Structure 1
Amino acid sequence: MRICFFGDSFTQGVGDDRGLGWCGRLTPRMRGRHPDLTAYALGIRRDTSAEILARWESEARARLPHGHPHRLAFCFGTNDCADDGTGRGRVSPAETLRNATAILAGAAAMAPVILVGPPPALDDPAVDRRIAALEPGLGAVAKEAGIPFLSVFGTLRQAPAWTAGAAAGDGTHPAGAGYALLADLIGDWPAFRHWADIA
C-alpha cells in the first residue's frame, strides 16, 4: 500500500522534536496489516488549499504506481484562515470550499480519501474564529463527495497535550505529545481504520 498525506506544517509535523508528526505516528499502526506500506508526509509549511490544489495530483501520481493499493489523506484550512495582513484570511471561505471540492473530486477518482479538519492556530483568536466558521463547510463538502471527515479543531483547542506544546514553542505548532494526541484521534476514528484497511 502507498499513502500520500497532503497538507501544511501540521501534516509535516513542525514542532515535533522526533520529526514524526501525526503521519509518522499513524504509519506503524498500519504496518501490521500492510508490512510493505510506504507513506509520504507531503506537508508544506504555510500551504493553503489553493497551493495544495495546484500540487497534489502531480505529487500523488509520482508516488502511486499502478498495481498497488493507494490511499490519499488531506488536512488543510488553517493557513487559509491565517491573517493576510489586512485582518482577513489568506483565502476566502468560499474559495477554500471550492478548492476543497476540486481536491476531493479529483482525489476520489484516484484512490480512497479521508479529510481531517484544520487544527487551531491558537496564537490569534481571530484566526481561530475563522477556522471554527470554516470547519462545518469543509465537513459538508466532504459529505457531499462521500468522503469521511474528522473534526479536530474543538478537541485540540482545549487539549493540554496540544496547547502546552504550542505555548512552549512558536504559539501554534504542538510538540510530540500534541501530535500523538492527533494521531490517536485519527487512529481511533472508525472511518480511518476502514480507509487504512486495518478495521
Structure 2
Amino acid sequence: MTGFTQERLGWRPWLEPLTEDELTDAHHEALVDKARAASPYFRLLARDPEILHARTKTDQDIFYNIDGGLPRAERELAATAASRHNGCVFCASVHARFAAHYSKRPADVRRLLDEGVSAPQDGKWRAVVDAAVALAATPSALGAEHITALRAAGYDDLAISDALHAAAFFSWANRLMLSLGEPDKEGGA
C-alpha cells in the first residue's frame, strides 16, 4: 500500500498476534483500554504485557495529559510529521486525523501528507514540523536552531518538551510498527 491518507486504515501483522480468546486478565490490564483487544497490533504487543503497559501509559501521558504545555493539535502534528518522514502510512493517517480535528486546519494537514514535511506551513507549525522531522531523522539532527525556532514561535519549555516527546515516541513507534507488519485498507490496528 502506498500513499498517505487520513482514511482509517487497517494493519496486517507479519507475526501471529494473540487471538482475543487468548487474552488473559494480565493482557487486558496491559492493553489499558479493552477496545484495543480488537486490534491485531495491540494483540501482537500483548505478547509482552509489561512492555505494552509501559508503552501505552507513555503514549497516553504524551497525548492526553494536556494540563499545560503544547496544545493537543500540535502534539498530533509532531506525531504526523515524524510518521510522514519515517514513511509510516498507518501512524500518519491516525495522527493526521487527530491533528486536523483538534486544529481545525484540515487543509494544512492534508498538504503535509500530500506534499511532504517540507510543504509550506505557518511559522508555529513550521517550527513543530522541522523539530519533529529532525528528531525523527536521527536525534543528533535536532539542534539548537530547532529549539530557537520553537521559542521564537511562542512555545515555552514545557510545550517544546511535549513536541519533542510526541516526535520521539512516534519515531520509535513508527519503526516498531513498520518492522512488525504493514498497513492495509481493511481491518484495524
Bigger strand fraction: 1
Instruction: Indicate the TM-score class for this superposition, using the shorter chain for normalisation.
Output: 0.3 to 0.5
Ranked by relative contact order (alpha carbons within 8 Å, sequence separation 6 or more), the top structure is 2
TM-score by length of 1: 0.32
Bigger helix fraction: 2
